Amino acid sequence: MLKNYLKIAWRNLRKHKFYTFLNIFGLSLGLASCLLITLYVVDELSYDRSFANADRIFRINADIRFGGADMSLAVAPDPLAFTLKKDYPQIEQVVRMRENGSQLVRRSDATDNLKEEHVFFVDSTFFKVFPVALLQGDPNTALRNPQTVVISETDARKYFGEANPMGKALMVDNNATYTVTGVMQDLPAQSHMRDVNMLLSMSSTEESRSNAWGSHNFNTYILFREGVNAKQFEKNFETVLQKYTSKWIKQFVGSTLDEIRKSGNYLVYTLMPLTDIHLHSDRTAEINANGNIQYVYIFAVVAVFLLAIACVNFMNLATARSSNRAKEVGVRKALGSERSSLVNQFLTESIMLSFFSLTLAMLIAYLALPLFNNLANKHIQFPITNVWFWSALLLTGSIVGVLAGSYPAFFLSGFQPLKVLKNTIELEGKGSGYLRNALVVFQFVISVMLIVGTGVIYRQLNYIQTKKLGFNKDQMLIVNDAYALDNQVKAFKEQVMQLPNVESATVTSFLPTPSSRTDHTFFPVGQMQQDKGINMQKWAVDYDFVETMQLQIASGRAFEEAFPSDSTGIVINEAAAKVLGYADPIGKKIFGYEDAALTKRVDYTIIGVVKNFHFESLRKNIGALSLILYKSNGSVVFRMKGGDAPRTVEQVASLWKKMAPGQPFNYRFMDEDFDNVYRSEQRVGEIFITFATISIIIGCLGLFGLSAFTAERRTKEIGVRKVLGASVANIVALLSKEFIRLIIIAILIGSPIAWFGMNHWLNDFAYHVDLAWWMFAAAGLLAIIIALLTVSFQSIKAALMNPVKSLKSE
């Protein structure tokens, strides 16, 4: 019986090649898109789940409001981890990680340094919390002693080639020697620590022994014992705050923790599951840039939408063709076929078509995967050997085939043979017409939503690119690792300044793009109360920083070498002046501490106020910022005049090689850094427009097929109308108006849904565009134009047909 079903199904598919092609191509596009997005979503959801004990690992986060600033931190106080381990038996182990930034590293017997982007100090307990396999070395002792280092397998090859690295020495930052005591497997790509390749022993740094409860510098992780409820354990943080932190706060500002809370400030510690970090955490001091759960939700919905659109096409074309097979049903039922066998026949055809489409979809997805990886910045592999993958595909193909074929199967098989053969039954049926209309509306509701979403995302990205930032990011060349020049930094800066295309230069580690950040609390002199304090960024800069960055002075002046007193001067931004409450801040004195132990007090005199500029992402409001004169040899930044940039880079590189032989020359441009901050949004926009285009193509395939079917059914009517004088335009309008009415309904339904979703997305940005009515009108107009172009082809073809031929056929 099955063989017979398959044979008949194959004959019918071959007989109607045009509709078979539309069905298979449309459905395969939807399935391929859905498959690619599903692989992306699965990849995003898999982060940090490869660790065997991932469900018991939690990171301590800190949320602080103090001094007019709100801080969400991925770091905790220096002594918190081991205090918790000592006081609470529920904790099996703890580990701290302290970022040491990018470093220049070389073998002790080599002369050339290599750049290492992510170097961390970690406690010796690292491998007890994170069970990363050590290929060489003992995980229990590898990081126990000072001046030891564990490197990744990749770094072992990078520095030592095929030689055994164990016991060999690495020079870090040109002045510290570390002995290799272990080689670990590369951390998983699906981990929030994925780029960490070098672990220095925490005992090598004095800071690891700090008892400063107000200094938040360490990414801190807890491994709970089996059965511990992390949410309940969070209640113990209040005890810790009262027992340890409150004393430090009292010493710092003269107020208790409770008094600080009464004034509207707060300090809260919370636990975040390890597996939530990648998609649910966007805090200061993250180890890596994380993903965003919103985008996972968006892409998951888009995948469902694309598959739904494809299935709708499938069902629409199937119901549209159903009346052409009504007589076949009547004859077969008259000859004794039962309804169940007819249902099975139609479902077999539908499932066969579904699996043809699924096969083509897999081929499309496989070929498109490299392009998709490039678009999404991923390294996803096609899971050919995964049994669950194949099981899911088979299940999807079956479900799609059954769902798409169920309506025509049960509708057609219910015809009474006598009425069908006598042409006394309405073959098309009101139900099928209403269903097709509803499905067309559904398709274009989704298309309108995707068009609106794409437009809003690109408008927001354009807003980011063109918004006045308060500084000039164009023509800015950043030369990294200035400390590699040792005491020749100033000479290098001056020599580069002699180049004809260089306008100005500054030496600093602090830039309004991804770079160093440091929060400090200041108080007006003589007013060390918690309600008078201000928490703000403190950037160490040189005399030329304000000029090179082209910051605007609101009042006072910038640093000048003519004023020796500027060594204790400070320049603040307007946001800081507002929090301090000074109508005229020039000449006012504030002080802060240089150390966590609160022993090194420094008094500053405000000499200038710069206008607010966006030194952080546009997702955040502009906070308080201060500039002080201090040596900070992170980068040398050159403003170019706009001439031959590649030539200038070559000249700068040549000078670098002369003054820093053996040191890598690393540079970047500030505008590219700025773009990278919003790269995830750019990728979302690119993915959105790609899949919005695919959704429109699939929808148009369906409209094309339906318009062809409509023209075919109304051939006689069109012939009569043309004989009676109807013009081509009249016929086209007649055949198109029903589809346009459905598109307008789709626009009215899809626009408010799109407004809600995009308004929610824009709220992630402190600075964003407004949703204007014309954006929705433009999306609707585009949908109508696309629909008209699709439908008009078949309408014009039908209208141009010779009426004699269409009437003669009757």
Measured between alpha carbons, how far is 260 from 385 in angstroms, rounded to an integer? Answer: 58
pLDDT tens, position by position, 670-691: 988 888 777 777 887 788 788 8
Listed ranges 124-133, 414-423, 632-641, 670-679; the one with the highest mean pLDDT: 124-133
DSSP states along 741-760:
HHHHHHHHHHHHHHHHHHHH
Q: Which one has a higher pLDDT value, 21 or 305? A: 305
Q: Worst-scoring range by mean pLDDT, 8-22, 528-542, 616-630?
A: 8-22
Q: Strands (DSSP E) along 142-290, which ranges? A: 148-152, 169-172, 176-184, 198-201, 216-224, 266-273
For the segment 377-402, the average pLDDT, to the nearest whole number, is 84
Range among 639-643, 665-669, 675-679, 683-687 rated most confident: 665-669
Q: Give the pLDDT band of residue 175 (cuts 50, 70, 90).
A: confident
Long-range interactions of 186-191: CB distance < 8 A, separation 24+: 186/152, 186/153, 186/154, 187/132, 187/152, 188/48, 188/50, 189/379, 190/43, 190/46, 190/47, 190/48, 190/49, 190/50, 191/47, 191/48, 191/50, 191/278
Would you state the pLDDT for residue 810?
A: 46
Q: What is the mean pLDDT of residues 487-496?
A: 91
> In the structure, what pLDDT confidence band is assigned to residue 724 with cuts at 50, 70 and 90?
low
Tell me what pLDDT residue 564 has: 86
| 554 confidence band (pLDDT: 50, 70, 90) | very high
Write a three-state SS string for 18-67.
HHHHHHHHHHHHHHHHHHHHHHHHHHHHCCCCCCCCHHHEEEEEEEEEEC
Determine how many CB atoms are found less than 10 A away from the CB of residue 444. 31
Global pTM?
0.83
| pLDDT attached to residue 75 | 93
The pLDDT mean for the chain works out to 83
Which structure tokens are listed for 65?
A: 């409001």
Amino acid at the residue 120: F
Return the pLDDT at 110: 82
Does residue 530 carry a pLDDT above 60?
no
Query: 79 with 596: CB under 8 angstroms?
Result: no
pLDDT reported for residue 539: 92
Structure tokens at 148: 């030891």
Per-residue confidence at 331, pLDDT binned at 50, 70, 90? Answer: low
Structure confidence by residue, pLDDT tens digits, 92-145: 999 999 988 788 898 888 888 888 888 999 999 999 999 999 999 999 999 999
pLDDT at 532: 67
Highest-pLDDT range among 346-355, 401-410, 685-694, 765-774: 765-774
Mean pLDDT check: name the lowest of 200-214, 332-346, 386-400: 332-346
Helix or strand or coil: residue 598?
coil
Give Cα separations from 326 to 333, 345, 431 (angstroms). 11, 14, 15
Q: What is the pLDDT of residues 200-244, one digit of tens each?
A: 999 998 888 888 887 888 999 999 999 999 999 999 999 998 888
Q: Which helix (H) or strand (E) holds 420?
A: helix 417-421
Q: Which residue has the higher pLDDT, 83 or 388?
A: 83
